[in-house]
């Protein structure tokens, strides 16, 4: 691969990786609708486009497996063959080989030839009636490959099927390395999944234009300020110049805020692009375990920060594998329970305020909290007395203890008690939290609650003692003066009338475990999910848009990150989800 530049290889793997994920998703749909011509054509185009780029890169082994898969798909889409389960397995095996070859290429090596059995199965399926003759109206293969080559070296720099419209997007590639995937993670075909030292961000062109326009306006405002500065030097008491300076500063402040929001939106990606690869994973694992699994995706257009999406891969892989292995029952067990043989697994995302909730839900056997308590005692993780005191909801939290597993036998899928504790640690590292709900015989739902972004956050700043804290503005409902004239320093009430109801009034010092030095003077009415609370502090400081800096080494409970104020003071950002969660861990 010495003649191939890193940039060209990255572009190929980025575009071809997305094509392969789309091919896998459409193949699963094709299993349910085997005669759908649009799906067959889409899968064929995916193989064909990948093959064209591989030919240009002189990756002969990749060209060979794509070519054989393309031949079989061409026979299917032209009606020479009818899709059956053997053909589907052969095509899915081929996509698995292509994915492994992408990983090899991302490491800088040419892929080895595909396993002979995979190529043989493709040929056997083809020889059941298909030929390699051109379908009516099809163009010679050499002409099509030259089109693909032209797309590679065109101005866009992206590999696209020349007869299809290119995606309305640009690729921004900072020189940074993504986090490595875990041992159970499906190998992504693109370097963005950790297979290269270049990480990419696909940005909608309209958002990129907005950023450029705002940058230009900020440049004009800067020039205006420089001009006003010169005038003020010559006439420091000129009221007109001072008023113009104040107006320009207000305009600049607005523009900077708009630019921050535009950059934050540019980092946002639809979760569906990441979620679709888990459909194939759940299907394959189900077949391996003798189960019929269908993974459905809801809320695919929900947007989340790209960094968060990348870091979520390992936790989601583990949770989906657990749902297939632990949650979903065998077909015979489901029949006996009056359930459909096909187990339903749901991966959903929705935005609630300034958070995104991701749910992994199955319709399986559910979790028996009594079994969890018993296993915890057997493994020496709890005493019998402590186990008896646990509520059912708290018992579900035992799953996150290191070394905990309900499996009596170890398999290549689960049973070692490794994973769920890492899942929770990874989610908490992203300033999120994880919650389990389960009903025996009906299924289990695991919810991951995350901030929309780790970048920029509109906040209300409050003070407690000498420390400044920030509260996400989307959670703030009202600001309340707690000082009552003429009543002195009377004790705070535990409940406060708000919006026609009485809600808890809790000093911020109590939530943080600090000593209450003085009676709080102000309250912030906040709402997190269905919970409403008034948080009492010493004073208000004001609204701000802050750039969040994560805290990795040591993070107190209830603190999601930190930022710097305009005068250089450290501002701690409150994690209201954990502060107000009665089950929150220390």
CA distance 47 to 22: 11
Query: Is 514's pLDDT higher than 50?
Result: yes
pLDDT at 444 over 90: yes
By the 8 A CB rule, do 451 and 432 touch?
yes
Burial 436-457 (b: 16+ CB within 10 A, else e): bebeeeebbbbebbbbbbbbbb
How many other CB atoms are found less than 10 A from the CB of residue 543? 12
Supply the pTM of this predicted model: 0.63
CA distance 286 to 290: 6
3-59, pLDDT tens digit by residue?
567 778 888 888 888 889 889 888 988 888 887 889 989 899 888 889 988 888 888
| Residue-level pLDDT at 486 | 57
The whole-number pLDDT of residue 246 equals: 87
State residue 165's pLDDT score: 34
- Give the whole-angstrom CA distance, residue 264 versus residue 586: 31
Query: What is the signed CA dihedral for 227, 230, 235, 236, rounded to 10 degrees?
Result: 100
Radius of gyration of the chain measured on its C-alpha atoms: 29
Residues 165 and 151 sit within 8 Å (Cβ to Cβ) = no
Which SS3 state, helix, strand or coil, does residue 449 take?
strand
Q: Is the pLDDT of residue 563 over 50?
A: yes
Check pLDDT > 70 for residue 153.
Answer: no
Q: Could you read off the pLDDT of 369-402 as tens digits, one per residue?
A: 999 999 888 888 888 888 888 888 888 988 888 7
Compute how many other C-beta atoms are within 10 angstroms of the C-beta atom of residue 317. 21
Please report, to the nearest 10 degrees, the dihedral formed by the alpha carbons of residues 89, 92, 97, 101 taken in order.
Answer: 170
Residue 152: per-residue pLDDT: 37
Q: Which pair of structure tokens corresponds to residue 555?
A: 């993070």
Percent of the chain with pLDDT over 70: 80
What average pLDDT does range 152-164 have in this prediction? Answer: 35
Distance CA 509, CA 583 (A): 19
Percent of the chain with pLDDT over 90: 27
- Give the Cα separation of 35 and 440 in Å (integer): 39
To which H or E segment does residue 206 belong? helix 205-234
Structure-token match 């080494």, residue found: 553
How sure is the predictor about 168, in pLDDT bands with cuts at 50, 70 and 90? very low
Residue 380 DSSP label: T
> What mean pLDDT is predicted for residues 280-291?
90
Handedness of CA 407, 411, 415, 416 (dihedral sign): positive
Summarize the confidence of residues 507-534 as an average pLDDT. 88
Higher pLDDT, 128 or 461: 461
Q: Is 329 helix (H, G, I), strand (E, B) or coil?
A: coil
Residue 504 confidence (pLDDT) = 93
| Helix or strand holding residue 331 (H, E) | helix 331-336
Whole-number Cα distances in Å, 192 to 161, 172, 522, 544: 21, 12, 46, 33
Most confident of 63-72, 252-261, 552-561: 63-72
Domains of the chain, start order: 6-168 (1.20.120.160), 204-266 (1.10.287), 270-451 (3.30.565.10), 456-579 (2.40.50.180)
DSSP string, 44-104: HHHHHHHHHHHHHTT-HHHHHHHHHHHHHHHHHHTTSS---HHHHHHHHHHHHHHHHHHHH
pLDDT of amino acid 178: 34
Distance separating alpha carbons of residues 93 and 90, to the nearest angstrom: 5
Average pLDDT, integer, range 546-555: 70
User: Residue 61 has what pLDDT?
Assistant: 92
Query: Contact 337/328 with Cβ under 8 angstroms?
Result: no
pLDDT at 404 over 90: no
Least confident of 117-126, 390-399, 404-413, 555-564: 404-413
Q: Look at the block and give the residue holding tokens 């989307």.
A: 474
pLDDT of residue 135 exceeding 50, the answer is no
Q: What is the pLDDT of residues 239-258, one digit of tens each?
A: 787 888 888 888 888 888 78
Tokens linked to 158:
């992206």
CB of 562 closer than 8 Å to CB of 551: yes
Burial class (CB in 10 A: 0-12, 13-18, 19+), 333: middle
| Residues 356-370, mean pLDDT to the nearest whole number | 92
**Which pLDDT score, from 0 to 100, does residue 468 have?**
94
Q: How confident is the model at residue 408 (pLDDT cuts 50, 70, 90)?
A: low
Average pLDDT over residues 286-307: 90
For tokens 């789309």, what's the residue?
Answer: 22
- Residue 131, pLDDT > 60, answer no
- How far is 181 from 432, CA to CA, in rounded Å? 19
Q: In whole angstroms, give the CA distance from residue 122 to residue 87.
A: 7
Residues paired with residue 564 on neighbouring β-strands, in sequence order = 570
pLDDT (average), residues 126-155 = 42
pLDDT at 554 (0 to 100): 65
Write out the two tokens for 292: 């019929």
pLDDT, one tens digit per residue, over 175-230 is 333 333 333 334 333 333 333 445 667 777 888 888 888 888 888 888 888 888 88
In terms of Cα–Cα distance, which of 482, 480, 484, 462 is closest to 471? 462
User: What's the pLDDT score for residue 536?
Assistant: 95
Distance CA 162, CA 145 (A): 10
The alpha carbon torsion through 171, 172, 177, 183 (nearest 10 deg) reads -30
């Amino acid at each position: 691969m010495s003649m191939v530049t890193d940039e060209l290889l990255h572009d190929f793997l980025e575009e071809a990786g997305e094509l392969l994920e789309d091919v896998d998703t459409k193949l699963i749909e094709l299993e349910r609708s085997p005669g759908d011509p649009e799906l067959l054509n889409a899968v064929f185009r995916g193989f064909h486009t990948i093959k064209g780029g591989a030919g240009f890169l002189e990756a002969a082994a990749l060209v060979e497996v794509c070519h054989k898969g393309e031949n079989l798909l061409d026979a299917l889409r032209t009606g020479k063959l009818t899709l059956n389960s053997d053909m589907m397995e052969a095509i899915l095996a081929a996509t698995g080989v292509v994915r492994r070859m992408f990983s090899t290429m991302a490491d800088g090596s040419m892929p080895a030839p595909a396993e002979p059995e995979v190529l043989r199965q493709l040929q056997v399926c083809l020889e059941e009636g298909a030929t390699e003759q051109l379908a009516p109206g099809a163009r010679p293969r050499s002409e099509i490959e030259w089109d693909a080559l032209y797309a590679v070296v065109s101005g866009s720099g992206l590999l696209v099927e020349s007869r299809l419209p290119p995606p309305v997007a640009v690729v921004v590639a900072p020189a940074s390395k993504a986090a490595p995937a875990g041992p159970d993670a499906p190998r992504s075909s693109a370097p963005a999944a950790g297979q290269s030292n270049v990480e990419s961000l696909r940005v909608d062109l309209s958002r990129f234009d907005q950023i450029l326009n705002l940058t230009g306006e900020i440049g004009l405002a800067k020039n205006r300020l420089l001009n006003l500065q010169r005038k003020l030097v010559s006439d420091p008491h000129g009221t007109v110049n001072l008023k113009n300076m104040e107006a320009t500063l207000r305009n600049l402040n607005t523009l900077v805020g708009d630019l921050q929001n535009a950059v934050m939106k540019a980092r946002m990606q639809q979760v569906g692009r990441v979620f679709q690869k888990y459909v194939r994973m759940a299907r394959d694992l189900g077949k391996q375990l003798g189960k019929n699994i269908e993974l459905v995706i809801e809320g695919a257009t929900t947007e989340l920060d790209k960094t968060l999406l990348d870091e979520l891969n390992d936790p989601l892989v583990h949770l989906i594998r657990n749902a297939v292995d632990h949650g979903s029952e065998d077909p015979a067990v489901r029949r006996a329970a009056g359930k459909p043989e096909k187990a339903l697994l749901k991966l959903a995302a929705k935005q609630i305020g300034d958070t995104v909730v991701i749910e992994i839900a199955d319709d399986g056997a559910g979790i028996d909290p009594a079994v969890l308590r018993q296993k915890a005692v057997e493994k020496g993780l709890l005493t019998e007395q402590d186990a008896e005191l646990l509520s059912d909801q708290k018992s579900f939290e035992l799953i996150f203890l290191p070394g905990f597993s309900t499996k009596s036998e170890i398999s290549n899928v689960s049973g070692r008690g490794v994973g769920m504790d890492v899942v929770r640690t990874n989610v908490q590292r992203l300033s999120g939290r994880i919650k389990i709900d389960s009903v025996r015989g009906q299924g289990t739902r695991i919810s991951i609650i995350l901030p929309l972004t780790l970048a920029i956050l509109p906040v209300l700043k409050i003070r407690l003692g000498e420390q400044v804290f920030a509260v996400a503005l989307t959670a703030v409902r009202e600001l309340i003066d707690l000082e009552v004239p003429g009543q002195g320093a009377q004790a705070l009430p535990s409940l406060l009338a708000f919006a026609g109801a009485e809600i808890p009034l809790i000093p911020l010092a109590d939530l943080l475990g600090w000593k209450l030095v003085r009676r709080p003077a102000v309250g912030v009415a906040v709402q997190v999910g269905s919970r409403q609370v008034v948080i009492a502090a010493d004073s208000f400081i004001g609204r701000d848009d802050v750039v969040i800096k994560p805290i990795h080494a040591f993070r107190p409970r209830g603190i999601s990150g930190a930022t710097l104020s305009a005068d250089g003071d450290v501002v701690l950002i409150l994690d209201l989800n954990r502060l107000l969660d009665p089950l929150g861990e220390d």
